[in-house]
Structure 1
């Protein structure tokens, strides 16, 4: 029994060491209650921010070992417009392709061993978000925002992770 516990502890230490060798991603939202367009209902807003955080994290995982990605989101305007719908019990997001394109403002830094390799501010937007295909399924939440983030990441930070990004 004692050797089994030692093996489990040793395996846990290896797992921690392997996890720390990879890239770390930190995403913070600066005054999210003042963002231009995120869901008003708290649980919808939390789900939206959680989904975006997971997406940034997946992208950050593609960085070389030892490099960390830090993202500070300062504003979000999601694709489409919310239309109140009491019958459905929640608001509906309607996409028209007019002046309702997705937009995200952020600050970013890629760091390694405490030194900043790349940093800056970015204003992501996709005015023609309905005119081109995305890498994401039609029913996937935030697919236009994720596509916009992917395009920015590939141009600014580095190659996208392989197909496991959905």
Structure 2
């Protein structure tokens, strides 16, 4: 039974790693099993990758008609540190605001009607993630990573200036 559950979870991760496409956004996770910091449990890892894919897809809906964004995520280090928790079904993630800030490393290509508008490598990081105002609710998963993605997307992809 454990082998079946492990294989199903691994299959889900591989499906996510193969990429997800919607509304002009394609997200691929390059060797997610080697990422710096994802949850220990396979189903939790899958939840994190699905949440990030859904969020990139949501942001991509704001792109003008005909534009497509391809993302290759090469590393993820979530905010805080995860500690095994024997009393609960999920491990415990502790946020201290020290050397545990979120980091996402990715490559991106923005195209319009097949022509490359911009592309590059990006390392998203937020060293002061606990000291800044966040528009995402406290109960929202990955709220610090999402704020970091929001800022990168606005500055790099749609080129909005903070205001």
Shared fold per TM-score greater than 0.5: yes
> How do 1:105-120 residues align onto structure 2 when only pairs under 5 Å count?
105-120=105-120
Gap regions ≥5 residues in structure 2: 1-21
**Residues 106-165 of structure 1: per-residue CA shift (max 9 Å, x gap):** 0001111111101100000000000011110001000000000000011101168xxxxx
| Corresponding residue for residue 54 of structure 1 | 54
| Corresponding residue for residue 10 of structure 1 | none
| Corresponding residue for residue 10 of structure 2 | none
Distance 1:123 1:37 in 2: 15
| Corresponding residue for residue 67 of structure 2 | 67
Over aligned residue pairs, what C-alpha RMSD do you find?
Answer: 1.3
SS in 2 for 1:50: helix
Q: Is the 8 A contact 1:23 1:66 kept in 2?
A: no
Distance 1:83 1:39 in 2: 9
Gap regions ≥5 residues in structure 1: 1-21, 161-166
Q: Is the 8 A contact 2:23 2:57 kept in 1?
A: no
| Corresponding residue for residue 83 of structure 2 | 83
Distance 1:44 1:106 in 2: 21
Q: Is the 8 A contact 1:39 1:45 kept in 2?
A: yes
Deviation at 1:89, TM superposition (A): 2.3
| Corresponding residue for residue 17 of structure 1 | none
Distance 1:112 1:71 in 2: 15
SS in 1 for 2:152: helix
| Corresponding residue for residue 36 of structure 2 | 36
**Which protein shows a greater Rg?**
1
